[in-house]
Amino acid sequence: MCGIVGYVGKRNSQNILIDGLKKLEYRGYDSAGVAVYTKDGLQIKKSKGRLANLESKLDEAPLEGNIGIGHTRWATHGKPSDVNSHPHTDNSSKFSVVHNGIIENYMQLKEELTAKGHVFVSETDTEVISHLIASLYEGDIVKAVQKAVTRMRGAFALGVLTEYEPEKLVAVRLSSPLIIGVGEGENFIGSDIPAILEYTRNVYILNDGEMALLTKDDVTLMTLEGNFISRELFHVDWDIVTAEKAGFDHFMLKEIYEQPKAYRDTMGARIDAAASKVVLPEIGMTPEQIRSIRQVHIVACGTAYHAGLVGKSVIEHLARIPVETDVASEYRYRSPIITPETLVIVVSQSGETADTLAALREAKRCGARVVAITNVVGSSVAREADDVIVTWAGPEIAVASTKAYTSQLIGFYLFGLYLAQTLGTAEATYIEEVLRGLQELPEKVERILEQSEAIKEVAEQISTHHSLFFIGRGLDYAVALEGSLKLKEISYIHSEAYAAGELKHGTLALIEEGIPVIALATQDALFEKTVSNIKEVKARGAQVFGIHMEGDTELAKAVDEVFAIPQTHPLLAPALTVVPLQLLSYYASLALGHDVDKPRNLAKSVTVE
């Protein structure tokens, strides 16, 4: 999973490529590189590590030219190194390729090419592509790329240059995201819109199995078979400022503070307050189709999976339909029972998560209807699902997801209420109560954010520990899983989340004197049992930080410190409870001196399996 960018036009391509890579560095930052056609032919500069390392090389020896491709890498094949960095070339250095994705049959292709005299210098699957294209080239770079693609299995987005046709840039998409930016006398490619937004707002979003030939004056879209495609330009109307830090020290903190706006935007016109109902015109199911649903499968990865665990409880509680929640990377391989009466909900911030996309396709193959919850209009998941609930969180740059996760929760609340309205499984007065609570959430998140200093103090305390635990029951357990993940991914502190009632079945053995435990106790129906579990860990020496709702006076008697979230409907508590946990993770990482926005070994959008 990587970021690619390309430019052809009248300007110095090096500067545009670097600007684009800075916008894409969230997709991977193990290494970076550029290839530019110069007066001396195709020249490449690349470097292990952050983009700044590449910039230093280019400052010393700039590349002057009007066409080029660039890449920022998250390693899949071959360790991070200068040699394994993209772009890759063939032995003649006349062909250069940048690649996002995986070539599954690269070893077979490598053996064939080696037998023909090709010499490989890297450990990557991508280098095979440049050699393969070179071996098939007969004077037409487009045809050579098309022939090469027929030999390759896997997922890929490609940017291709050849010294033999220096005015042309070829782009290919198959199961990895790629967009084309259209300017005046210049054109662009990028893995994501922010890469080119500074230069143009007019884009083509390539679909799977499509490619493009770019020159400075023209963009030609076609299928991989060479059939020409006519398509309207998509105009991007969101502001580039949304991709900047706006005065915050880190993108993650900015995005935590943007959550009230993301809540309001995602609810938007979807709540008819006068009629006390949810309006989802984007859901094309008829009432009869909704009534035919016998089971729901929620499929997602990582943080989105944790949103799905909340979604499971919400839908079962409101719509009274049985729900299974699956990790997308496991879903297809357990032979799930999918029928036309199964509704599959896939959740993906980027809409390009490879495992989630594969699960979507398997569900559709089996005849299920698919609803997508995603933050990216025009993404693969959005285009391939039958119905789409877009979460209007705006661009999320930090690798650790915050506002995208909570916006996904809002999506589940809206959809659960929509199902309940249609099926008549909840009283109108109850739906009205939950809707009122939903609309109050943004202001309540703002109140939590005003108390961030209290969370910072606790975070600085736990940052001195090597291990800690989160516990909770019911919806609190689902949020505990997300809080634990957030802490692990940006502070690198070992953390585990447990269903509080399971402690005595083995994991209580891990509790020792002084170990921190974050205990969530916001669910009235489970409060007394949770307090009992808290007392179990306290009796064994744990230092307990509790999170509860305002008005409760009992939890403070059982823990060392407490933080109160504003009163809300218990079903909606996750949308508030997770906010102090996000802040806890942020401040713990900050106290340890880590790179909050770009944690080690991780990338924002996981576009490989």
Name the residues annotated as catalytic: 2, 604
The DSSP annotation for 66-94 comes to SEEEEEEE--SSS-SSTTTSSPEE-TTS-
Asked whether the beta carbons of 8 and 216 are under 8 A apart, the reply is yes
> Strand 187-190's sheet: what is its strand order?
41-48, 31-38, 67-73, 3-8, 187-190, 179-182, 202-205, 234-235
Enumerate helices (H) and strands (E) in the chain, giving the number of each.
18, 27
Inter-axis angle of helices 574-591 and 428-449, nearest 10: 20
Instruction: Give 570's Cβ-side CA count (13 Å radius).
Output: 15
Gap between the Cα atoms of 12 and 66, Å rounded: 5
End-to-end CA distance of the chain: 9
Q: What single DSSP character describes residue 206?
A: P
Cα-to-chain-centroid distance, residue 398: 10
Name the token pair of 95. Answer: 């062909």
> Strand 154-162's sheet: what is its strand order?
88-89, 95-103, 154-162, 169-174, 210-214, 219-223, 228-229
Asked whether the beta carbons of 268 and 432 are under 8 A apart, the reply is no
User: Nearest Cα to 226, choosing from 136, 169, 133, 149?
Assistant: 149
Amino acid 474 reads: G
Angle at 266 between CA 265 and CA 270, to 5 degrees: 100
Cα separations in angstroms, 407 against 252, 402, 443: 15, 9, 15
SS (H, E, C) 308-360: HHHHHHHHHHHHCCCEEEEEHHHHHHHCCCCCCCEEEEEEECCCCCHHHHHHH
Name the token pair of 35. Answer: 């290839």
